[in-house]
A and B are shown apart, each in its own frame.
Chain A
Amino acid sequence: MDLKEKLLSSFLVFENQVDIDTYVHDVRNDAIKIFEEKGFPTKKEEAWKYTSLNKILKEDYSVFPQQENAIEYKDIKKYFIHDIDTYKIVFIDGKYSSHLSQTTHDGMDVCLMSAALSKPKYRILIENYFNKAATKDSLSSLNTAFSSEGAYIHIPKNKMVEKPIQIVHFSTGNESATMLQPRNLIVVDENSHVQIIERHQSLNNNPVLTNSVTEVFTNKRAIVDYYKIQNDSSNASLIDNTFIKQRKESVASVHTFAFGGKLTRNNLNFFQEGERIDSILKGVTIIGEKQHVDHNTLVHHIEPNCESHQDYKGIFADSSTGVFNGKVIVEKEAQKTNAFQANNNILVSDKATINTKPQLEIFADDVKCSHGCTIGQLDESAMFYMRSRGIPEKEAKALLMYAFSNNVLSSVKIPEMKQRITKIIANKLGVDIGFDL
């Protein structure tokens, strides 16, 4: 039985367990039909031309991991930003871990999707927001059909959330292969501000496939800073589907730090539904071996006077492959749009590959849109310059790579987070540089 069939038959079992008389039940049923019809995407589709799921779909994934696994905080502390106080919503093999989490209902909700989906007091919000940003593509639909657990965050208006919120999904690898489908819903009301850090982490080397959907609603003048840390083990694959709907004068930024796993696909979508909106998409990708990272972004400019800023840096070593496909749509009504896109890449090895493709569809006539991509090698003259000052080859390379990523790193607003990323990069490059950029 292939994975698609397995999922379809599992759905029948799954859906019988849940309340069938709800809005969400109907949404799930519609979604499974879409997945059944479309199936997993293949390279024949334009958006998947450079990323093949074939290999990772061959594993015999357990779709509903059985037992809940206890993990001690000290063993996984390193996967958290632990030197500052944060809210935490933690899952182990898809199940909520109360002892690792720190949630709140004090003036806002930082809690669980399963609670939000089942308790009557959340019903109106769920009906207003759940699956209202996600598109009807096959993988998001698959997630929707199985959506039952994840983070649920609702920040009411005029609230500045002081502590960042960490959403961490662990997989223990207790099953020989695990498929996870977390579903996050984040609603930030008028004038509020929140910072969110998301991480997926497997704790051993058994294959894991995560097909995640996150919906973010940034209402009027709200600010959302979202950070994604992707630094998973070599058999863990992630398909991250993130949909951000913005209302007028809101600012949403997503930083994606893609340091690999086996295969990572980021489908990052921004929809601007209002004037004077700012959308910021930034990323640093540093991978090696046979890792594959694909950034597939969409910014949909629907109304006038909005901006979007995309800046993705990639460093590819060994036989790794990268993809950047940045789509910007500017509707006819969206006059005075400023849309910028940059994708710069360094290939460190002859066997590494990057496919980069800007895709601009502009229907308005009074806009400023720019895009630029570069692919190069480390600057040899800079290398000699640094080495002639006594900086060894490896450290000089690392310094150049830091410098290359610095534009993106410098816009991270949580200092501890920036330090952590700097350390991960240093570890990845096998150097110990005695300062933070």
Chain B
Amino acid sequence: MLKIDNLHASVEDKSILQGINLEVKAGEVHAIMGPNGSGKSTLASVIAGKEEYEVTKGNIEFNGEDIDELAAEERAHKGVFLSFQYPVEIPGVSVTNFMKTAINETRKAQGLEDMPAKDMLKLIREKSELLEIDRKFLSRSLNEGFSGGEKKRNEIFQMAMLEPKLAILDETDSGLDIDALRIVANGVNKLKSKDNAVVVITHYQRLLDYIVPDFVHVLYNGKIVKSGTKELAHELEEKGYDWIKEEVNA
């Protein structure tokens, strides 16, 4: 589904990603871990199409198609979803209206008619129940005044609404208490199928107890320096990253 080949990317001439290779197949869950500043969020943003980042070498293939040149919305239309580490507050646009616009714009791009209002309401009800989101919450301005946990839950609600093929969860666990973490993870697991894939970016093993990865990768200095299975995550939790840094620097 996702094939990243020798990806180099920089922002304002500062090179951040220095040759990433990663393949994610349908039905898989991958975890990307690594110390602060290793390039995890950059990788997520580059896949989602943030324009500030310049791909200087290599390429990103999604379902057999090169997507490096596509705008963020075009990638979204093809089924790429990024759950933001810091969801942006948009005063004046309600959660419901935002979702309606996102869904109908995606449908438009796929040559479909707008979703009938009745179906939209049903979908919103269904997915908000899945994430245990209060209905009142949906008429509030998007992310404005939301707590950290509410923001993250809202991200997964959007994911549930949009049903992407590839979901990248950028530190979705940060700012979540244990109950919210369980709700969010439960939501992600319910949405998982053999046809879609999830990339989880995290510092901690904690989330991976709930969303169990098939593969774990360690990102350091803009490169994937180690890959393994979920046991690698446990090892990192125990020993920290220093031994990896030493290995790389040796």
Q: Which A residues are closer than 8 A to B by beta carbons?
A: 379-382, 384-393, 395-396, 399-400, 402-407, 433-435, 437
- Asked if B50 contacts A391 (CB within 8 A), the reply is no
> B71's contact among A393, A434, A437, by CB below 8 Å, is which?
A393
- Asked if A390 contacts B105 (CB within 8 A), the reply is yes
Considering only residues 11-55 of chain B, those with a C-beta below 8 Å from chain A are 45, 48-52
- Asked if B76 contacts A387 (CB within 8 A), the reply is yes
- Asked if A385 contacts B102 (CB within 8 A), the reply is no
| Given known A388-B48, A393-B73, contact A435–B92 (CB-CB < 8 A) | no
The chain B residue with its CB closest to the CB of A396 is: B73
- Asked if B92 contacts A387 (CB within 8 A), the reply is no
- Asked if A437 contacts B97 (CB within 8 A), the reply is yes
Interface membership of B91, Cβ < 8 A: yes
- Distance to closest chain B CB from A187 (angstroms): 37
Interchain CA distance A385-B101 in the complex, whole Å = 13
- Asked if B102 contacts A391 (CB within 8 A), the reply is yes
Interchain CA distance A265-B135 in the complex, whole Å = 45
| Given known A390-B76, A390-B106, A393-B71, contact A403–B91 (CB-CB < 8 A) | yes
> A404's contact among B72, B92, B97, B109, by CB below 8 Å, is which?
B92
Interface membership of B183, Cβ < 8 A: no
Stretch at the interface among B61-69, B80-88, B123-131, B207-215: B80-88
| Given known A379-B88, A387-B73, A390-B76, contact A395–B93 (CB-CB < 8 A) | no
- Asked if B88 contacts A433 (CB within 8 A), the reply is no
- Distance to closest chain B CB from A433 (angstroms): 6
Given the complex, which residues of B lie within 8 Å of A387, measured CB to CB? 49, 71-73, 76
- Asked if A384 contacts B50 (CB within 8 A), the reply is yes
> B77's contact among A379, A390, A393, A433, by CB below 8 Å, is which?
A390
Interface membership of B121, Cβ < 8 A: no
Given the complex, which residues of A lie within 8 Å of B91, measured CB to CB? 403, 406
**Would you mind naming 11 contact pairs between A and B with Cβ atoms under 8 Å apart?**
A382-B88, A382-B89, A385-B84, A388-B81, A388-B84, A390-B105, A391-B102, A399-B90, A399-B98, A434-B100, A434-B104
Given the complex, which residues of B lie within 8 Å of A386, measured CB to CB? 90, 98, 102
- Distance to closest chain B CB from A425 (angstroms): 13
Q: Compute the total of residue contacts between A and B using a CB distance below 8 Å.
A: 89
Given the complex, which residues of B lie within 8 Å of A405, measured CB to CB? 92
Interface membership of B114, Cβ < 8 A: yes
- Asked if B101 contacts A391 (CB within 8 A), the reply is yes
- Asked if B90 contacts A382 (CB within 8 A), the reply is yes
Interface membership of B162, Cβ < 8 A: yes
> A399's contact among B73, B76, B101, by CB below 8 Å, is which?
B101
- Asked if A392 contacts B97 (CB within 8 A), the reply is no
Annotate B94-138 by CB proximity to A: 1 below 8 A, 0 otherwise. 000110111111100100001000000000000000000000000
- Asked if B93 contacts A399 (CB within 8 A), the reply is yes
Interface membership of B158, Cβ < 8 A: yes
> A392's contact among B73, B82, B87, B100, by CB below 8 Å, is which?
B73
Given the complex, which residues of A lie within 8 Å of B102, measured CB to CB? 386, 389-391
> B93's contact among A384, A403, A434, by CB below 8 Å, is which?
A403
- Asked if A395 contacts B71 (CB within 8 A), the reply is no
Interchain CA distance A315-B41 in the complex, whole Å = 32
Interchain CA distance A395-B105 in the complex, whole Å = 9
| Given known A384-B51, A390-B162, contact A400–B90 (CB-CB < 8 A) | yes
- Asked if B92 contacts A437 (CB within 8 A), the reply is yes
Given the complex, which residues of A lie within 8 Å of B109, measured CB to CB? 390, 392
Interchain CA distance A389-B141 in the complex, whole Å = 16
> A389's contact among B97, B98, B114, by CB below 8 Å, is which?
B98
Given the complex, which residues of A lie within 8 Å of B52, measured CB to CB? 380
Q: Which of B51, B73, B87, B141 has the most CB of A within 10 A?
A: B73
Given the complex, which residues of B lie within 8 Å of A402, measured CB to CB? 92-93
- Distance to closest chain A CB from B47 (angstroms): 10
The chain A residue with its CB closest to the CB of B48 is: A388
- Asked if A435 contacts B101 (CB within 8 A), the reply is yes
| Given known A388-B82, A435-B97, contact A403–B90 (CB-CB < 8 A) | yes
Question: Which 6 interchain pairs have the tightest Cβ spacing?
Answer: A403-B92, A406-B92, A390-B76, A387-B72, A390-B106, A385-B88
The chain A residue with its CB closest to the CB of B104 is: A434
The chain B residue with its CB closest to the CB of A395 is: B105
Interchain CA distance A434-B99 in the complex, whole Å = 12
Interchain CA distance A402-B93 in the complex, whole Å = 8
- Distance to closest chain B CB from A393 (angstroms): 7
Interchain CA distance A423-B114 in the complex, whole Å = 19
Q: Which of A388, A399, A405 has the most CB of B within 10 A?
A: A388
Given the complex, which residues of A lie within 8 Å of B100, measured CB to CB? 434-435
Interchain CA distance A380-B90 in the complex, whole Å = 12
Given the complex, which residues of B lie within 8 Å of A391, measured CB to CB? 73, 101-102, 105
